[in-house]
Amino acid sequence: MKLVPEILLLSNKEDISLDYVSAELNRHPYPFFRLNCEDLTTINCSFHLLEKEFVLVKGESEIVLGSALRSVIFRRPGQPYISPVSGFDEKQIENYVSDQWSVFINGLRCFDDVKWINSPEADRFCENKILQLVYAQELGFAIPDTLISSDRNCIENFFAKQHSEVVVKALCSPLLELETGDFFIFSNAVDTLEPFSDEEFRTTPSIFQQLIKDKIDVRVTVCGKTVFAVEIRASIGKTLPMDWRTSDQDLQYVPIELPLALQKKCVSLTKKFGLTFGAIDFVRVGETFLFLEINPAGEWGWLQRRANLPIAEAIAAEALASLRDSQCKS
């Protein structure tokens, strides 16, 4: 069976958020294919230069990615997997295999007039938290007082300015994969710097931010010009920890309407990074929304069902819009 998709999903099998998009696209007549990239080593893949086509042979199916392609939804592609090879360093083999596939998949950027939601380059560009803060500031977002530093003196001055009420966060990638296990670094409030050595400060820069008290966490999801917002609230009679993600209680996600001016700023910020999709975290104090960060591949499946927000529909609509644009042009 030959399939010529107009929409390609690049992800992994366990991305439940993308399952919502698959379900939505199944309701439309346009051919789409979900390539779960961890399976790449089990598929026969070729790029034919003359035809400018990627051909994937999977069992009885032949998937041809070529001039018909109009949209790519790129979200957390799974890392290609191979079994350990006896006598070789597992990590080196893994890196080699991943590098080759990375180039192959990024070759899909050769097609003109294909809309990427989001492009790998835009995602990577947006991961820089310093750029996020600078762009947000330029667009007029309110931002907690922030220092990014490895200089103990600067950090101590900032600490004094904040009356010893500071949050410390990683500048990027807070996942550690160690031999002893995998670990995550949440945002943490600190009220003293005494336990830390000079060397600890100097080894890497970290984000130091004004601790915001009596806050309400807000997640804003932007898809094109559509903006969804929810407040994250504790169950009645309970309070949330500083980083609400560590809470073990049943949280409530309450849809809210953002002020129109703030909605426009959120759309502008995603555009500034070249993104179609972006998940933006705020904390609200009174009527003020303070920007924390934007995540180009932020999780949203938890909102689709719990808050009943049609985010999958919005993503599918963005992908389908490029099909219609293409039909209008021809």
Partner 1 sequence: MSKVLDISTKKVPILLFRFTTPCRGRQKQSLWSESSHKVRYDECLQLTVVCGDNGEVPAIEFESLPHLATKKNDIEKGEDNKDRGMWS
Q: Does 107 bind partner 1 (CB under 8 A)?
A: no
Q: Which of 188, 235, 288, 324 binds partner 1 (CB under 8 A)?
A: 188
Q: Does 304 bind partner 1 (CB under 8 A)?
A: yes
H or E element, residue 226: strand 226-233
Number of residues that bind partner 1 (CB under 8 A): 71
* Binders in 240-279 for partner 1, by CB under 8 A: 245-247, 251
| Stretch in the footprint of partner 1 (CB under 8 A) among 82-90, 133-141, 264-272, 292-300 | 292-300
SS3 230: strand
Q: Does 305 bind partner 1 (CB under 8 A)?
A: yes
Looking at the Cβ atoms of 110 and 140, the one nearer to partner 1 is 110
- φ, ψ for residue 257, nearest 5 deg: -100, 115
Distance CA(23)–CA(128), nearest Å, equals 32
**Using alpha carbons only, what angle is made at residue 305 by residues 297 and 34, rounded to the nearest 5 degrees?**
50
Q: Does 200 bind partner 1 (CB under 8 A)?
A: yes
H or E element, residue 10: strand 7-11
Distance CA(29)–CA(207), nearest Å, equals 47
Q: Does 98 bind partner 1 (CB under 8 A)?
A: yes
Supply the minimum distance, in Å, between the C-beta of residue 63 and partner 1: 11
Q: Does 79 bind partner 1 (CB under 8 A)?
A: yes
Q: Does 177 bind partner 1 (CB under 8 A)?
A: yes
Residue 244 CA neighbour count, 13 Å, CB half: 23
Looking at the Cβ atoms of 88 and 96, the one nearer to partner 1 is 96
Distance CA(217)–CA(233), nearest Å, equals 7
DSSP structure class, residue 179 = T
Q: Which of 72, 105, 290, 319 binds partner 1 (CB under 8 A)?
A: 105
Q: Does 158 bind partner 1 (CB under 8 A)?
A: no
Q: Does 281 bind partner 1 (CB under 8 A)?
A: no
Distance CA(89)–CA(311), nearest Å, equals 42
Q: Which of 52, 113, 140, 184 binds partner 1 (CB under 8 A)?
A: 184
Sign of the torsion angle spanned by Cα atoms 325, 23, 267, 299: negative
Q: Does 62 bind partner 1 (CB under 8 A)?
A: no
